[in-house]
Amino acid sequence: MRVRWIGVTLALAALGLAAGYGLGILHREDPRTFAVVEPVPAVDPSIPVIPPQVLPDPTFPPALRTGLPLVPRTVGDPPFELTVPVPKGWVRTNPTSGEWRWYPQPGPKETLNTYFLRVRLIGNSYRTVTASRDGRIEDLENAADVDDFHLEDRTTGGFVADYVAAEHRRVAMEEFLAPPGGTFADAWIALIGREPDRAGIADLFPRIVAGVHR
């Protein structure tokens, strides 16, 4: 009798295995296929797998020189005017209200994608220097027209970074300034150029920031 029950048990077990295998086949999904093989962007960490296109730098004007002479230039209206030392002979433009730019000769159209100085008055933003700095970094990291952003250095009120914009590699040094004894940033200064301009930017930018006065 015991042998008979063992046989029945084994038969039931075999039947269960067969039924499970059959159900597994019925519910098994076919492997996914792709019509075209292409890189899939990573999610975490988010690393660009398709390098951005980078065009050759314009060769005119030549790389930004060190030791350029500076002259004071005043922007804004009293009592919010700001005096900034800018390279002598650079061409001034006023693309938007509250922002001024200076380009090397002969001007912005002929020196596109090379180097320029930007000064913007931002006193009405009511943000601290560090908040302004961090907000600007975040804006560049998330900008639709900026690729391959690298934050190279972060200072108390500014930063150094490189990135690709308009298919050109850019090197940027930026600084946010508050009035003496003030809490909120009222000025934003940036010097942006090509990789060959890096030495000139590193020489020029600290001299400009140090010479700002109200």
Within a 10 A sphere around the Cβ of 197, how many other Cβ atoms?
22
Backbone angles phi, psi at 207, to 5 degrees: -70, -35
**Is the CATH code 3.40.1000.10 the one for domain 70-210?**
yes
Q: Which residues of the chain have pLDDT under 50?
A: 1-15, 17, 19, 21, 23, 25-26
How far apart (Å, rounded) are the C-alpha atoms in residues 91 and 86?
Answer: 10
pLDDT on residue 15: 45
Contact between residue 72 and residue 202 where contact means Cβ atoms under 8 Å apart = no
CB atoms within 10 A of CB 185: 25
Please answer whether residues 163 and 172 qualify as being in contact, where contact means their C-beta atoms are separated by less than 8 angstroms. Answer: yes
Residue 107's pLDDT is 97
Phi, psi at 69, each rounded to 5°:
-70, 145
What are the structural domain ranges in the chain? 70-210
Residue 131, Cβ density class (10 Å: 0-12 exposed, 13-18 middle, ≥19 buried):
middle
Length of the chain: 214
